[in-house]
Structure 1
């Protein structure tokens, strides 16, 4: 586990923001999944000639375990795409003014986003927030911070480091 910078620790998002992020992101991801399933049914109709109602019935009667695994992995993949494309901001994070950062202050990589979001597929990850931090943050060495206060603190920190540095004129 990487060392957590104090500026990150002081600006971590409160649990209520994390909960709102989860609700908004999960609802948005479900909408995306429903849309993609609709596109799948229409494509199956046009390519294979299978009635849309038959495809809907097949999806509705899917094995519950397969359904849950597919839904968890689809949610993780959708969240990965959203966070990777927006550099740590999902729809929920945009609404609450939060973002994902590495705990050591380095830039997030694609592997960090993959790790963070596929750990979400671990059963009971949502319950891990009853502790101090969620598993997908702990295991990926990431944290969700309040964006504005974090960036202000980082800016102040860098300005303080410049005190006493001789300028080249």
Structure 2
């Protein structure tokens, strides 16, 4: 069980920023899926192997949903794991993911966050107090500017009365 820091809860990203993150990342995923579909069509035209055509263009709702989940899981995992808890949307809105104890989320936490997005209606769960993928993985999306200001203010308060050494 992680220690739950109040400073994390006090500096969570607003629902508006969370929605902006979602829209920006959704646009990125649509573009990625477009290019994956285009690549599969090109490979089909080159090889005439129907596998490439049906792999990404078979028009089955269930197949399209599963491919979307796989692509989204990979997208979110790679971005959040290798860019310090940020996705393209979070980079643009100046937000990031932190564990509730204020540390960088572990690879396992990020993997679980990414997998939780497969749950139907999870994308809208942030409209409540915390998104499901945040609650289930003990993470939060924070506003970096507000969080940094709060941490600096706390450090300044903690340093009151401490003798400076020149």
> How many pairs align?
166
**Equivalent residues of 1:103, 1:141 under 8 A apart:** yes
Aligned counterpart, 2:131: 134
Q: Contact 1:8–1:145 (CA<8 Å) still a contact in 2?
A: yes
**TM-superposed deviation, 1:166:** 4.8
Normalization by structure 1: what TM-score?
Answer: 0.84
Matched residue, 1:24: 24
* TM-fit CA distance, 1:11: 0.9
Correspondences of 1:1-169 after superposition (within 5 Å): 2-46=2-46, 49-50=47-48, 55-56=52-53, 59-166=56-163
Q: Alpha carbons of 1:60 and 1:107: their partners in 2 closer, same or farther (altered >3 Å)?
A: closer
| Consecutive unaligned residues in structure 1, runs of 5 or more | none
Unaligned runs of 5+ in 2: none
Question: How big is the alpha-carbon RMSD for the aligned residues of Structure 1 and Structure 2?
Answer: 2.4
Distance in 2 of aligned mates of 1:116 and 1:125: 11
Offset at 1:126? 1.9
Work out the CA distance in 2 between the residues paired with 1:58 and 1:101: 36
What TM-score do the two structures reach when normalised by structure 2? 0.85
SS at match of 1:122: coil
Does structure 2 conserve the Cα–Cα contact (< 8 Å) formed by 1:77 and 1:118?
A: no
Name the SS of the counterpart of 2:117 in structure 1: helix
